[in-house]
Structure 1
Amino acid sequence: MLQDLNRVLSAYWQQFLYVLPKLALALLLLIVAIFVSNRLSTLIGGRLRRRSHDPLLADFLTRISKWVFVLIGLLLAMQVVGLSGVVSGLLAGAGLSAFIVGFAFKDIAENFLAGVILAFNRPFHINDTVQIKDQIGHVEALNLRTTLIRTFEGKHVFLPNSLVLKEPLVNFTRDGNLRQDFLVSVDYGETGDPGRLQQQLLEFLGAHPDVQHENAYPPYIILEKTAGTTADLRLYFWTSSDEYRRGTLQIKSELMQKVKAMLQEKGYPAPSLAQ
């Protein structure tokens, strides 16, 4: 029994010594492949960023090129060791194993393909403000598996690319302009003129530097309700959406405060404003 064990161990040792040079060469190839992939992906990424106006697509293609070079090095290393035929034979002959492996990596493959579609379809760019389901914030990166969004609270949310592709996506930045509105309730008095009140509000909106004044985006006012001497007017105006927080939250807040102050200066008693 000891002789048989010794013979088996000796055979394994001889096989290990025979394969050892191949293992060393395969390891060397893999290290070189990783080094070359890092250098080439950096070079490719630099050229793509200089020639492309879309850094999101350039970064995504850079990551893909890096992993492609690493995969090529891994396949060469397996070829040197002699495992490529074994692996392909196992995958070809064991249908159940192939099914299990495919099922296990289904989500990874789905997110990767979704990332490729998002990179080329480009429904958003870096720093665009988007909303996906209940998440709203700036797009910071598109990775191979996830899309990184930084919310206005400073939280980093990693959304699977497949979710981003399937769910409705609202891009607040792409058009460059965003319409907003708020309600003004004013008592214009028995001798007052609601038409004159609307004209005063339009002139105020037109004089504000952060409100769009182009013909395609004019401010306007809708009379929603009137009772006696009280009128409910909804003010509509367009602002730039390049910076979402400034273009929506801050400008709207400033306008509401200034409209109320302007109405009080013109003698309208206790005007009230609402969203």
Structure 2
Amino acid sequence: MYQAFKNSIQDLYRDLVELTPVIFVSVLVLLVGLLVISSIKKLIFRKVISRAKDTVGARFVADIIIFIFYIILIFFVFRTLGLSAFTQTIIGAAGLTTFIIGFALKDIGENFLAGIVMIFDRPFEMGDLVEIEGRVGRVIRISIRETTIKTVDGKDVYIPNSDIVKKHFINYTIDDQLRESFDISINNTNNIREVMGMIMKELSSVPNLLPNKTPSVSIKNFDQGTVQLSVSFWYGLLGSQARNARLKNEVMLRVIEALKSNKVEFPNHIQDVNIQKDA
């Protein structure tokens, strides 16, 4: 038994010695291939993508080309290791290929196909401000697998392309026109028409609002001696990173100050409580 174990160890050692040059050459081929692919990738990005009119489409095509180079390198390394029959089996075995694509590469294939749909459908462009599943940010990269957005607090969020295609999202900058609104309550003892006119006059004097989009003031509700007005206005992002909360704050301050200066009465929501003492 000892002699059989010794012979197996010796056979394993001889096999390792024989395979060492092959393994060394294969690792060398892999490293050289990775270096060449990296150089090709840099060349494509510097010479093609930077000069292309459609940078998103050019980047997507470049990613596909680089992916093909990686596949070729893997099969070349297999051939160097003497596994050419194995690679031919993988290529020819449709059942095994289907199994790999269906299970191991399901997410990759799904994101790849979603990326193709996005390239042709173009729901957003580079630099657009979008909201996807509650995450708001600028699109900074679109690849064959994922889309990267930079949020308002500087974080890079990587979202799989399949999630973007299957779920709803909001593009705030597709036409660079955003509408904001807020509500304000006044007493119904005021002249409602005059108050609405005051608000419209004040909105017309606010800078940075879109001149081709007229603001509006409408009655939203009235209850318990109060009238609730809904005020809306339009503005453009002008390349800003987020929705303009400062502008909305300025509009609200202007409206409330104008109404106060015109003695408009507001509800104070104070309740009188009378306590009666039994005789």
Give TM-score, length-normalised by structure 1.
0.77
In 2: Cα distance, 1:262 partner to 1:94 partner: 75
Match of 1:46?
A: 46
Aligned partner of residue 48 in structure 2, secondary structure: helix
Whole-Å separation in 1 of the counterparts to 2:49 and 2:105: 31
Cross-structure match for 1:207: 205
Does residue 245 in structure 1 map to residue 279 in structure 2? no
What is the percentage of aligned positions where both structures have the same residue? Answer: 29
Contact 1:202/1:220, CA 8 A, preserved across alignment: yes
Q: Please state whether the residue corresponding to 2:208 is helix, strand or coil.
A: coil
Cα deviation, residue 239, structure 1: 0.8
Name 2:262's counterpart in structure 1: 266
Q: Are 1:224 and 1:234, in contact at CA under 8 Å, matched by a contact in 2?
A: yes
For residue 168 of structure 2, what is the aligned residue in structure 1? Answer: 168
Q: 1:89 to 1:65 in 2, by over 3 A?
A: closer
Structural mapping, 1:206-245, within 5 Å: 206-214=204-212, 217-225=213-221, 231-241=227-237, 242-243=239-240, 245=242
The RMSD of aligned alpha carbons is: 3.6
Residue 122 (structure 1) aligns with = 122
> Does the CA-based 8 Å contact 1:188-1:268 persist in structure 2?
no
Using the TM superposition, give the Cα deviation of residue 168 of structure 1 relative to its aligned residue in structure 2, in angstroms: 1.2
**CA spacing shift, 1:84–1:116, aligned 2, 3 Å:** farther
Mapping for residues 80-229 of structure 1, pairs under 5 Å: 80-89=80-89, 92=92, 95=95, 99=99, 102-187=102-187, 189=189, 192=191, 194-214=192-212, 217-225=213-221
Any conservation in 2 of the 1:211–1:238 contact (CA below 8 Å)? Answer: yes
Q: CA offsets per residue over residues 79-120 of structure 1, 9 Å max, x none? A: 333323213325645946862674122122212322333244
- Paired residue for 1:255? 251
**Is the CA contact (8 Å cut-off) linking 1:130 and 1:137 kept in structure 2?**
yes
1:235 maps to a residue whose letter is V
> Residue 65 of structure 1: SS of its match in structure 2?
helix
User: How far does residue 3 in structure 1 lie from its aligned partner after superposition?
Assistant: 8.6
Q: Secondary structure at the match of 1:212?
A: coil
SS of residue matched to 2:214: coil
Question: Does the C-alpha gap of structure 1 residues 65 and 271 become closer, same or farther in structure 2, counting only changes over 3 Å?
Answer: farther
Amino acid at match of 2:197: Q
Give the secondary structure class of the aligned counterpart of 1:126. coil
CA distance in 2, matches of 1:254, 1:11: 79
Pick closer, same or farther for the CA change 1:98–1:146 going to 2, 3 Å.
same
The CA distance in 2 between the partners of 1:245 and 1:27, in whole Å, is 48
Paired positions, count: 266
5+ residue gaps, structure 1, are none
CA–CA separation in structure 2 for the residues paired with 1:75 and 1:55: 31
Alpha-carbon offset, residue 178 of structure 1: 0.7
Q: TM (normalized to structure 2)?
A: 0.76
